[in-house]
Structure 1
C-alpha cells in the first residue's frame, strides 16, 4: 500500500496553505489505510475519536430521519471528516459505509488535540472544515425540516380536499340519477287535473320549505320522532314510499303540511305529487351539497394562497394577525380533527394591524401549533387555546395546550437548534429555532411557560416596526 505524501496533502484545498513542516508532523502522527467496498467504518453511537482524510474512493453516511434510514451525505476524495478540533460531538449520529474502495489517511483524537497546542495553521484549516460542515449540515437539516413540515401539511390538505371532492362526485352521480327520472315523472304530472289555485298552494308550500334558512338542527331522537310521524301519516293515506318521510324531514315538513297538500291533490293524485316533490327536494339537497363542497374546496385553496402569501411581494406589510392564525388552523384542520382537539379562540378583533411578512408569520404559527398538536397526541380531552390582546406597545399571541408539559430542566433548551423532545424520527429540533429567528427578524419576542397540564407560548410583536 502506497503511503501518503506531502503532495497528497497539498492537493487537498483545505490544507494548501498549511506550512510543510506542520503537514509533515501531521503525516508522522497518522497512518494510511485502505478499506474495501461494503465495509462499515463506524456504527451509530461509536466514539467520534479519529480524523479521516479521503485520498481515493467514496463513503456514505446514513442516519435515521422521520422514522426511515436515509443517506445523509456522500464523502468524496479530498474531503476531511470525522473528529475535528473544538467539536462538541462525542459519538457518531449514523453509520459510515464505503461505497467505492477507499484509500485514506487516519489520525486519532489525541494527536489532533496535540496539534491544537503546537500547530496554528493546521488547526485553523481543520476548524475551517468543521465550520463548513456545520453550515452545510444545518442548511440541509433546515431544508429537511421544511420538507417534513410541507409533507405533513400536504397530507392533511389532501385529506381535507378529498372529502369535499368525493362529496361532489357522489352528489353529481346521484343528481344525474334523479334527472333521469324526470321524463317519467313529467308524464305522470302532465296527466294530473288540478285547479290552478291548488297548484299555486302546492308551489308556495314547496318554495317556502326550500328557501327556509332557519330550520332548527334536530337531534337524532327528534329526527326519528318526526320521521315516524310523517311515516304514520303516509301509511294512513296508503303511501308506502318511506324515502319520502326521510327527505321531507330534511326540509322541515310536518303532517300539517302534508294535509294541506292532500287537500289540493286527493288520491290517487297525491301519490304522484308527493313523488314529484320528493324528486325535486332530492335534487335541491344534492345541488346544495355540491355547492357547499365546492365552496369548501374554494375556501381551502384560498387558505393555501393566503398561507403561502403567493400574491404578495417579499416586503413587510400591515396585516391582521388573526387571518394568518385562522389560515394555519385551516391547514392543520386534519390533524386537529384526527386528534379530537378542541379549539378555543379568544381573539381581540379590535387589535391594530402589525407590520410583518405574512408568509414568515405563518411559519411561526404552524410550528407552535403543530408542536401543541403533537403534545396532545393520545389525549382524550385535548384543548388548544389561542388568545390575542394588546399589551402596551405590543400585540401578543398566546398559544396554550393542556398537554403533559415541558420538563423544567428542558425549557431553557427548546429554542436551541437541533434540540427536540420528540421521539426519534418525529422532529429535527429546528422548528422552534425557525420561530426564534423569524420573531427576531420582526423585532419581537417569544417565550414559554410550562407545567403539567398547561404549556403556553407567548409571541409579541411591536406596533412600531422600528
Structure 2
C-alpha cells in the first residue's frame, strides 16, 4: 500500500518538483482512512487538523444555505485539501460526503513543523497550493456574488415589467372588443343628417375634451355625483346602454350641460348615434393612451438595463453623468424601494461635472451600496434613503445614507474585508463592499463609512479625472 500511495503522490501535478525522499517522508508520517459511499468525510464546524489528499473516489463538497445543503464542488483523486502550511483555517465551513468508495491520505498538523524546517520543496508546493485555493475560492465567491446580484435584478425587472406588459395585453384585448362594436354603431352615424357647422361643433366638443383630459381633478364624491347626473340624463333621454357610457364621459369631463347643447343641435333620431360615437372616440383614446403609457414604461426599463450594463461601450473610462447611473440603478431597484416603503430623497448638485469613470463598474458600486442600505432598513417604519452628490475642489463626492439600525462600532473596520458579512446565509457573500472598494480604488478614490444607530452614511470620493 505504501508504494501505491507513493506512486500516486508522484503523479500529482503540485508535487512535480518535490524530491522523492521528501514524498517518502510524507508517506512515512501519514495514515490512510477509507469511507463508504454516502458517508460523511467531514462535517461543518469540524476541527481541521489534517492535510488530506484524495487517493481514490470523490468527495462532494456541500455548503448550508437557507436551511439545506447546496452542492458547491467535488474533490477528485489527486486533489489536495484540508489543512495546509501557514493556513489559518481552523474549522470546516462545509460538509464532505463520500461519492463511492473513498480513500484519503492524511498528515496531521503535528508534523508540519518538521516538514517546514526540513523539506523546503514539499512545503513550497503546499503553500502554492494554498495560494491557488484562496484565489479560486475568491473567484468562485465573486462569481456567486455577481449571480446573486443578477438574480435580484432579474426578479426586480420581472416584477417591474409585469404591470406594464399586463396593461398592454389588457388594453389590446379591450380595444379589440371595443372596435368589434363599430360596424353596428356606424350604421347609426351614417344615417345622420346635419350641417357642416354642427359637425365642426361636435368635433370641437369631443377633441376639446380629449385635449383637456387630466387637467381637472375631482374627489371620489364629486366623481360619483357626476356619474349619477350623467346616468339620469341619458336614461331620461332614452339613450341605449346608458350605464356603459358614463365612465368614459366622466373620465373626459363630459357634463350634462354639454349633452344638452348637443341635443339642441341634433334631430332627436340622431342624438343616440352621435352620443355613442362620442363614447367610441373617447374609449379608443383612453385605451390607446394606456397602451402607449405601458409601452413607454417597458421601453424605459429596457433602456435602463442597457444603460446599467453599458452594453454599447467598451470597458474603458469615459466622461459620464453619475446622476444618470444612480437614477438607472434606482430604476433597477425600484421594486425593493416600493416593497419596503422607503422614502427616497435625491439631493443632486445640478452643475456636477462629468468625471472619467468605468460606467458599468461604477453602476456596480451604486447597486451594492443602495441595495445594502435598503436591506438595512427592511421591516422598519419610516425608512428614508438619501442620496446626495457634490463637488469639492477636483473631487466628486457621493453620500448614501439610510436610517437603519446602524453598524456596530466593532464591525465598522471589518465591513470592507473580503468574505465579511452580517447578512444570513443566502443573502450575501461578503464581497459586495470589497468589490466597491476595489472599483473606487481603480478610480483613485476611497469609500468610507460613518454609522450610528438611526444613521449610516457611505461616502464615495474620487477625482474628476482619475
**Unmatched 5+ residue regions in structure 2?**
none
Give yes or no for contact 1:4–1:105 (8 Å, CA) kept in 2.
Answer: no
Matches within 5 A, 1:232-311: 232-239=232-239, 241-265=242-266, 267-311=268-312
Once structures 1 and 2 are overlaid, which stretch shifts more, 236-245 or 182-191?
Answer: 236-245
> How far apart in 1 are the matches of 2:292 and 2:359?
30
Give yes or no for contact 1:4–1:27 (8 Å, CA) kept in 2.
Answer: no
Matches within 5 A, 1:47-196: 47-65=47-65, 69-196=69-196
SS across alignment from 1:427: coil
How many residue pairs match? The answer is 465
Give yes or no for contact 1:416–1:433 (8 Å, CA) kept in 2.
Answer: yes
Superposed CA deviations along residues 278-308 of structure 1, whole A, max 9, x for unmatched, are: 1211111000111111111111111111111
SS across alignment from 2:282: helix
Q: Which residue number corresponds to residue 374 of structure 1?
A: 375
Give yes or no for contact 1:4–1:32 (8 Å, CA) kept in 2.
Answer: no
Give yes or no for contact 1:395–1:462 (8 Å, CA) kept in 2.
Answer: yes
> How far apart in 2 are the matches of 1:219 and 1:434?
51
Q: Which residue number corresponds to residue 7 of structure 1?
A: 7
Superposed CA deviations along residues 232-257 of structure 1, whole A, max 9, x for unmatched, are: 44345444622322211211223332
Question: Offset at 1:64?
Answer: 2.6
SS across alignment from 1:464: coil
Q: Which residue number corresponds to residue 340 of structure 1?
A: 341
> How far apart in 2 are the matches of 1:390 and 1:354?
11
Give yes or no for contact 1:202–1:264 (8 Å, CA) kept in 2.
Answer: no
TM-score (norm 1): 0.94
Q: Which residue number corresponds to residue 426 of structure 2?
A: 425
Q: Which residue number corresponds to residue 331 of structure 2?
A: 330
1:453 aligns with 2:465: no
**Unmatched 5+ residue regions in structure 1?**
none
Aligned residues: CA RMSD? 2.0
The verdict on how the C-alpha distance between 1:217 and 1:108 changes in structure 2, with shifts beyond 3 A counting, is farther
Give yes or no for contact 1:68–1:425 (8 Å, CA) kept in 2.
Answer: no
The verdict on how the C-alpha distance between 1:18 and 1:448 changes in structure 2, with shifts beyond 3 A counting, is same
Question: Offset at 1:268?
Answer: 4.8
Superposed CA deviations along residues 443-465 of structure 1, whole A, max 9, x for unmatched, are: 11111111122111111120132
Once structures 1 and 2 are overlaid, which stretch shifts more, 127-136 or 106-115?
Answer: 106-115
The verdict on how the C-alpha distance between 1:229 and 1:384 changes in structure 2, with shifts beyond 3 A counting, is farther
Question: Offset at 1:66?
Answer: 6.2
Q: Which residue number corresponds to residue 38 of structure 2?
A: 38
Once structures 1 and 2 are overlaid, which stretch shifts more, 228-237 or 86-95?
Answer: 228-237
Superposed CA deviations along residues 60-88 of structure 1, whole A, max 9, x for unmatched, are: 11113466532211111111101112222
> How far apart in 1 are the matches of 2:437 and 2:218?
48
Superposed CA deviations along residues 9-39 of structure 1, whole A, max 9, x for unmatched, are: 2222212323334333322221022222221
Give yes or no for contact 2:383–2:403 (8 Å, CA) kept in 1.
Answer: yes
Superposed CA deviations along residues 125-173 of structure 1, whole A, max 9, x for unmatched, are: 2111111111111111111111111111011112222221111111111
